[in-house]
A and B are shown apart, each in its own frame.
Chain A
Amino acid sequence: MQFPSRRKRLINNAQEEMYGQPIQFYGQPPIENISLSEFETFAVERLKLLKTIENLGVSYVKQSEHYARKLESEFKNLHFPYREVDDRKVQTGPSEFEKRRKDHISHFILRLAYCQTEDLRRWFIQQEVDLFRFRFNELGSKQKLEFLHRNNLQYDTINVEEKKTLLDKLVSSSYAVSGITVEEQDFYKVPFQDALDLVRTRKVYLKAGYVYIPHQDIITIVINDFRTRLSKALALTARSLPIVHSDERLQPLLNHLSHAYVGQDYSIQKNVGKISLEQIDSLSGKSFPLCMKQLHQSLRENHHLRHGGRMQYGLFLKGIGLSLEQALQFWRSEFIRGKVDADKFDKQYAYSIRHMFGKEGRRADYTPYSCMKVILSNMPSQGDYHGCPFRHSDPELLKQKLQVYKVSPSGINQILELVKGMHYQLACQKYFELTHNVEDANFSLNHPNQYFVESQRLLSGGVREPKREPETPHKTKAPSAAVEVPEVIEDLDSFFQDA
């Protein structure tokens, strides 16, 4: 019988239509059923990809060779599509089709998580635009044309007559356009509103509201189009969020994604009891990140910390290896020096410390906050000392603080530049490099406890680990998809409980 095979072919054709190229505008949301675990996995892996793009984008010149190589290896590791593949080559691992499907679905899931606030939207758009730009540039010229036509960018080309008439003007409008360019390449007539960067810098010929762009420059237009579409889509998505959030399976996951930290969570205490309370003061000077240093100092000075500060600092201390008994002693002795007497402490504060260690209530073992969590949640207000100093401190105050900690003026400037660009974790990493007197931290900072561990390792003259790709969870295990995923899902579980 012919019917089944024909039907199968039809379905394949439809799928090929949708995933015909390794890159897309994400105009159509996916309409299939997927399992909850696929939902989680896809989302988390795309998030890792976007974070890599962010980190690489700050550390290297975009489109440079270094950038390209590092990004390509990340694509391969996480199984995302990035260029046309030769069908004849034998594929190991997921097929190109499966990669493109994952690309499609994961993008839409992250839209749900990142549409909620202006900050999140801005971040998401920036990384997706960079991702798009990279993949578009990887396309061959024929494929670029194909992409434009598939996506209804009906920018008209001008005919030979018009090209002849405009030859002089076209050549004198752009350094990159020569007489040969005009002859050989197609020129597109594009409304000036779609090519603002070229108009602003006067790098293009403009007539009656249209710019005349050679085929080689069409990328700028396409990128802007992508950015605009995504921006509008996110605004629309935000409006339909209440419906999505009403699904109990999705809400915790989506909340977690937008605060996501996808690496080691320092919940498994490795060094319990190895640190004595007497060491804390000196450790805070040498190996604490600025946020924790600030909290420790304020605790010592005021003999008190508010709830936000107690949580952030308390969990950090747990992460560096304080035992419950030590923690209780630590907080108690400090609070007693203040306005709290022993009784009050035992009644009011001890409970919450035991809670942190999972000895009360739901007995959930809370995990120390990642940088993302510190930066994004629980904004400090008057009287608070928690948060991330690079994000939450006034730049002038931050500068003064850094001066007190003897950071050089040029170092302070570098840090402030990073802060201005909203790269708070990189600013902290730079702070690490300056205070430990190293050129390169050799790790990608994502967690205050990671800062502590790396600092201690450096100071004790430990063997430097070879530089890892960002977001590799366990330093001891070989990076492979199978191992990473369970680790991350464990992290998600703990966050569900946290909520």
Chain B
Amino acid sequence: MPVSDYDQASLPDLLPLYYRRLFPFAQYYRWLHYGGVHKNYFQNREFSFTLKDDIYVRYQSFTTQSELEKEMQKMNPYKIDIGAVYSHRPNQHNTVKSGSFQALEKELVFDIDMTDYDDVRSCCSAADICSKCWTLMTIAIRILDRALREDFGFQHLLWVYSGRRGIHCWVCDEAARKLSVTARSAVAEYLSLVKGGEETLKKVILSDPIHPFIKESLLVVERYFTRYALHDQEILSRKETLDKVLALVPEDILLKELQQDFQNEKKPEIRWKLIKDQALKKQATNKKGHHFEKEIMLQYCYPRLDVNVSKGVNHLLKSPFSVHPKTGRISVPIDLKELEKFDPFAVPTISLICEELDRPIPGEVEEKVDDKENEKDATERRKIRDYKRTSLAKYVKYFDQFLDGVARSWKGELLRKSDLQKEF
């Protein structure tokens, strides 16, 4: 059955099935428990749920994996958000003396939303996305992933598809979780190059010296620019988009000359080369605004992130493996090794995977349940195999690999701690 069979009205039927048989609770708990290195890390974590009829509940918290499972299966949330690890159990925050209840730690997060690029994409707008503009997300991931790893030294990054029109990044390193508000905003500012809203024409301005971070980011953009901007978005081919690009060229460049050349030259690559040549000429004179060809590339391609999402320690962000109510798609982690092949339209929807649950897999033998003792084990085993029958499998597997990496870091911590306590 086609994936587009998803209908928001069927959520109340699909969600119970999803939470009972598909949601990867074990992995989820393994992630947020972080090896138990810090006491009560999982217990003091805030979750928020959006229930049917838009009822929103905050300050949910759970003491064990099984409690989390039971509650979610009871409430069947339409949306799940993850918040911070607090000083006390969030579900008891009203009993705490005012001022004492504080958000202490949280992963460093980034949220890239396609609507923030509406002024530079011509294929879609608002909530729509297509394969042409999805390249912007690919570029964003490449640039930010490199910077967070090589510049900031972070190692455990989880990139997640939001389910509709964007991506999130969860930086799970211990150092990242401990960052203050000021530090988070500094990191986000370091990563921001596109500034300005509706009123600003020129959103990227570069001055000498060009910082190594910008140079590295430009290298990434250059790899995609011809295919994405010149061909897919046709920024130099169509009149309206061409005019917008030329508006970013400094005034003293002989626009008339360029426009004349463009009369004779229709091929976008050649047109771009002509613009670059002008830029080179200007750089030779070393006057202001002599990086305009770079500025154009960045304005059209560089990641636009919302600093406010990254700043707050207590900011709530959509959870991985949450369902997007409008599209039905699961927020799945993205394997960067397969980034070029990632297709948001191929991401499984909740209706697809629920349907796949009942499809028999060829060659599978039904396990016989002998007695009650084995029944519980069998249920567990069946649950574990359940998601494996579905398209969700590969995403959970990737999530497991990610968690293996994170585990290596907190295992080291645990060893260190037990050494200090002289345990054997």
Q: Does A205 make an interface contact (CB < 8 A)?
A: yes
Cα separation A200 to B311 with both chains bound (whole Å): 12
The CB with the most chain A CB atoms within 10 A, among B153, B175, B185, is that of B153
Cα separation A173 to B210 with both chains bound (whole Å): 7
Residue of B nearest to A203 (CB): B211
Q: Which of B153, B183, B189, B210 contacts A208 (CB 8 A)?
A: B153
Q: Does B190 make an interface contact (CB < 8 A)?
A: yes
Cα separation A193 to B151 with both chains bound (whole Å): 13
Contact with A along B203-215 (1 / 0, CB 8 A): 0000011111111
Is A206 in contact with B152, judged by CB distance below 8 angstroms? yes
Is B212 in contact with A175, judged by CB distance below 8 angstroms? no
Is A172 in contact with B189, judged by CB distance below 8 angstroms? no
Residue of A nearest to B99 (CB): A118
Residue of A nearest to B152 (CB): A209
Q: Which of B208-256 contact A (CB under 8 A)?
A: 208-215
Indicate whether A193 sits within 8 Å of B212 (C-beta atoms), given known contacts A201-B189, A206-B152, A208-B153. no
Indicate whether A175 sits within 8 Å of B153 (C-beta atoms), given known contacts A193-B179, A199-B187, A200-B186. no
Cβ contacts under 8 Å, B175 to chain A = 193, 209
Chain A contact-residue range equals: 20 to 34
Indicate whether A192 sits within 8 Å of B152 (C-beta atoms), given known contacts A199-B187, A200-B186, A200-B190. yes
Q: Does B92 make an interface contact (CB < 8 A)?
A: no
Cβ contacts under 8 Å, A192 to chain B = 152
Is A169 in contact with B187, judged by CB distance below 8 angstroms? no
Q: Does A196 make an interface contact (CB < 8 A)?
A: yes
Q: Does A210 make an interface contact (CB < 8 A)?
A: yes
Residue of A nearest to B215 (CB): A172
Q: How many residues of B contact A (CB 8 A)?
A: 23
Is B183 in contact with A196, judged by CB distance below 8 angstroms? yes
Is B209 in contact with A210, judged by CB distance below 8 angstroms? no
Q: Does B377 make an interface contact (CB < 8 A)?
A: no
Is B151 in contact with A207, judged by CB distance below 8 angstroms? yes
Cβ contacts under 8 Å, B190 to chain A = 199-200, 202, 206
Is A200 in contact with B189, judged by CB distance below 8 angstroms? yes
Is A208 in contact with B150, judged by CB distance below 8 angstroms? yes
- Chain A: minimal CB distance from B155 (Å): 10
Q: Which of A173-193 contact B (CB under 8 A)?
A: 173-175, 192-193
Residue of B nearest to A211 (CB): B151
Residue of B nearest to A169 (CB): B212
Cβ contacts under 8 Å, B151 to chain A = 206-209
Cβ contacts under 8 Å, A171 to chain B = 209
- Chain A: minimal CB distance from B32 (Å): 24
Is A210 in contact with B153, judged by CB distance below 8 angstroms? yes
Cα separation A175 to B211 with both chains bound (whole Å): 10
Q: Which of A204-226 contact B (CB under 8 A)?
A: 205-210
Cα separation A192 to B175 with both chains bound (whole Å): 11
Cα separation A169 to B212 with both chains bound (whole Å): 6
Cβ contacts under 8 Å, A200 to chain B = 185-186, 189-190
Q: Does B379 make an interface contact (CB < 8 A)?
A: no
Indicate whether A173 sits within 8 Å of B183 (C-beta atoms), given known contacts A199-B190, A206-B151, A209-B153. no
- Chain B: minimal CB distance from A197 (Å): 8
Contact with A along B187-211 (1 / 0, CB 8 A): 1011000000000000000001111
Cα separation A197 to B183 with both chains bound (whole Å): 9
Cα separation A458 to B95 with both chains bound (whole Å): 58
Cα separation A196 to B214 with both chains bound (whole Å): 18
Contact with A along B128-169 (1 / 0, CB 8 A): 000000000000000000000011111000000000000000
A-B contact pairs, 27 of them (CB 8 A): A169-B212, A171-B209, A172-B209, A172-B210, A172-B212, A172-B215, A173-B209, A175-B208, A175-B209, A192-B152, A193-B175, A193-B179, A193-B183, A196-B183, A199-B187, A199-B189, A200-B186, A200-B189, A200-B190, A201-B189, A202-B189, A205-B212, A206-B151, A206-B213, A207-B153, A209-B151, A209-B175
Beyond the given pairs A202-B214, A209-B152, 10 more chain A to chain B contacts, judged by CB atoms under 8 angstroms and listed by A's residue number, are A172-B211, A175-B208, A192-B152, A196-B183, A199-B187, A200-B185, A206-B190, A209-B154, A209-B175, A210-B153
Q: 7 tightest CB-CB pairs across the interface, nearest first?
A: A209-B153, A200-B186, A208-B153, A196-B186, A172-B209, A200-B189, A206-B151
